[in-house]
Structures are given as structure tokens and as C-alpha cells.
Amino acid sequence: MTIDRLQTPALVVEQSVLQENLRLMSAALPGARLRPHVKAHKSTALAKLQAAAGHHHFTCATIREVEGMAAAGLGEDLLLANEVLDTTRLGLVVTSGARVTVAVDSAATVEAASAGGIREVVIDVNVGLPRCGCAPEDAGRIADLARAAGLDVRGVMGYEGHVVAVSDVDARRAGAEECMARLLAAHELAGGDIVSAGGTGTYAVNTWANEIQAGSYVLMDTAYSALSDLPFGPALTVLGTVISTTAPAGDIPGWAVVDVGLKSLGMDHGNPTIPGGTVWFCSDEHTTWQPDEFGAVRVGDRVRVLPAHVDPTVALHERMYVVDGEDVVDTLPVDLRGW
């Protein structure tokens, strides 16, 4: 099948770019140095490609992701890098034979982990991003509470999310170092073997954590592609169809409309990009854009739309089509959606 047979909007993944992204990351962070974050693609089929590249420990963001990864035979070492106050379903995954570790940052989350049948935790530490995580100086106390509850403390994690998109690489490295100083201080108090941190933006500059939770690298988006030092290519686009055009009139430029809108794009990082044109705005089912050459765009043309944020974009779709140019060569179900 060729892409002109696909119902749009459709997620398409360029096979050669995907393979190169996998190769580049496995060379930079081989094996357990990378704990890929499956929230970026929500696909066990794609996770199996990451496992084939040597990565067998995974990061998850939701209970559903943990359940799906374990059911797909990818439960060797799953970290739910998120606080959960009802771990009953996770306890069932542990009973099934998967290894599940949960992030905790308070007495309440420690109690929830123990009550639900979780056996292993990491201490989530606030390293500067005002989200979840205990204060670094409180990590030892939380670790002691966990051990007293019968839990094994595997180490600490902390996400320097507020610096991963800093454009200047030296400033990004300095910001990561400041964050990791906090995390390492917490690790001294909490103990354990794991120091888990990072993302695609800091995968190369964070040399302090012993595992990096990068996820977006495998598909990429325009927010990360703006960082000139990252070697990963844009594998994912949203394929759309031009459904309307309006010719230039006087001082008013011509525009076109593609059937890719808010319901098929993650918009929290801004508008998508359409090569060869300027995006004006997005609405529910449409993106209105001004082609650089109006006459080159016709109703029925297929257009590749580059999302600004890959994670929420993928979560809006049921599948991704792997393509080699115009040919569809594989389908990756987006089977980890939901909660």
C-alpha cells in the first residue's frame, strides 16, 4: 500500500530515520545506560525495536503503560516514573512476574506502594522543576520510611525538565549539572544503585545520572529539532490532505487548509510546521497555512505536518504507519493509550 491510500490524518514514521535514531542512541547510551520512556510513542511494537537495539529497561508514565509493556513480554525492568496512590493494578503486574519499580516522594505514596503489592521504589527528588519530588534533603527520610514498610529502595530519580530545551548547549549542560548536584546529594542520603534522570535534550550532557530516561529521540518533534546539537531526525509526521485552497486576491495572500487539526496534534508546544509554507493557525480539524508557492498546492495533495510535541500527538492516534518514501511497510499499533 502507498500513503495515498491512507485515511488522513494519519501518523507516518519514516523507516530510515527511525532506524538511524535508534542506532544513534544505542551507540551513545548502550544497554542499561538508556531507560527509554515509552510515553513518547505508547507502542509496544516500537518498544520491541528499542529492545532489539539493546535496551531492556523501560520508563513508563501510566499504569496502563506498565500493564501493556508487561503483557507484551517487556517487563524485565519497568519504572513508573510517577506517583500513584492506588497501586493495586501494579501489584497484579508484579504478581504476574514483571519487575515494577514505582517513584515515591512522600509518606502517602510509600504507604500506597506497600499496600498495593509493590516491592521496589525509587525516591523522586525535586531537582528544580516544580512538579513532583521531595526536597533533596528529605530523600533519606523518605527512603527510611520505604524500607520500614518493607520496600527495597533502588535509588533516586529527578527530572531536569526545565533545562532540556535550553537552546545553548553550554547553558543546558550547566543547568543539568546544577540539577544533578541536587540529585547526587539526595542519592547519598537515600542509597541504592540507580541515579535516573534526563531526557532527549540532555541525553549527551547529563554525565552524572547512570541511566537516562529519553523518549522523544526515537520519533522527534519540532521543539527538540530546534536544538541544533541533537543528531536525531524527524521520523514522525502527521500526514494530511489538502481539502481547500483560496487564491490570492489583491494584497491578501492565498492560503490552503489541510485536514490536520487540534484533534490530531499535540499543541502545548505551539503550532506545527509544514515545510514549504507558513502555518497561520489550527482549529479542531484544520490547519490553515500559506504555501510559499500557492500554485504548487492543489486540493487532494498530501502534506506532511510536523508536530511540535510528539508525546500528546501520538496519544491522539490508534496507530502509526511505517513508510519507506511513499510505500507503507509496517503498522505500529499505539496500544499503550489510556490510564
Q: What is the pLDDT of residues 229-276, one digit of tens each?
A: 999 999 999 999 999 999 999 999 999 999 999 999 999 999 999 999
From CA 214, how far away is CA 204, in angstroms rounded? Answer: 10
Query: Under CATH, what is the fold of the domain 15-218?
Result: TIM Barrel (3.20.20)
Query: Would the CATH topology of 3-9+232-333 be identical to that of 15-218?
Result: no
Q: Give the cell for residue 80.
A: 513508573
114 grid coordinates? 506497600
* Distance from C-alpha of 335 to C-alpha of 230, rounded to nearest angstrom: 28
Q: Is the peptide bond before 9 cis (omega within 30 degrees of 0)?
A: yes
Helices marked H in the chain: 15-28, 44-52, 63-71, 88-95, 107-116, 139-148, 169-190, 222-225, 310-314
- Residue 35: Cβ within 10 Å count: 28
Q: Which sequence spans correspond to the domains of the chain?
A: 3-9+232-333, 15-218
The three cell numbers locating residue 196: 535516573
User: Which of 245, 263, 264, 241 lies closest to 255 in space, CA to CA?
Assistant: 245
Instruction: Give the integer Cα–Cα distance in Å for 274 and 271.
Output: 10
Angle (CA) 162 83 214, round 5°: 45
First to last CA, the chain: 33
In this predicted structure, what is the pLDDT of residue 171?
A: 98
Tell me which fold the domain 3-9+232-333 belongs to: Lyase, Ornithine Decarboxylase; Chain A, domain 1 (2.40.37)
Count of alpha carbons within 13 Å of 339, Cβ hemisphere only? Answer: 4
Alpha-carbon gap, residue 13 to 66, rounded angstroms: 24
The series of mean pLDDT values per 10 residues for the chain, 339 residues long, is 96 98 98 98 98 98 98 98 97 98 98 98 98 98 98 98 97 98 98 98 98 98 97 98 96 96 96 97 98 94 97 98 97 97
Task: Please state the φ and ψ torsions of residue 233, each to the nearest 5 degrees.
Answer: -95, 160
For the chain, what's the residue count?
339
pLDDT at 307: 98
What grid cell was written down for 27?
551507540
Cα–Cα distance measured from residue 101 to residue 32, given in angstroms and rounded to the nearest whole number: 15
Q: Are 176 and 160 in contact (CB under 8 A)?
A: yes
Query: What is the DSSP annotation of 232-288?
Result: ----EEEEEEEEEEE--BTTBPPEEEES--TTSS--TT---B-TTEEEEEE-SS-EE
d(CA 226, CA 123): 32
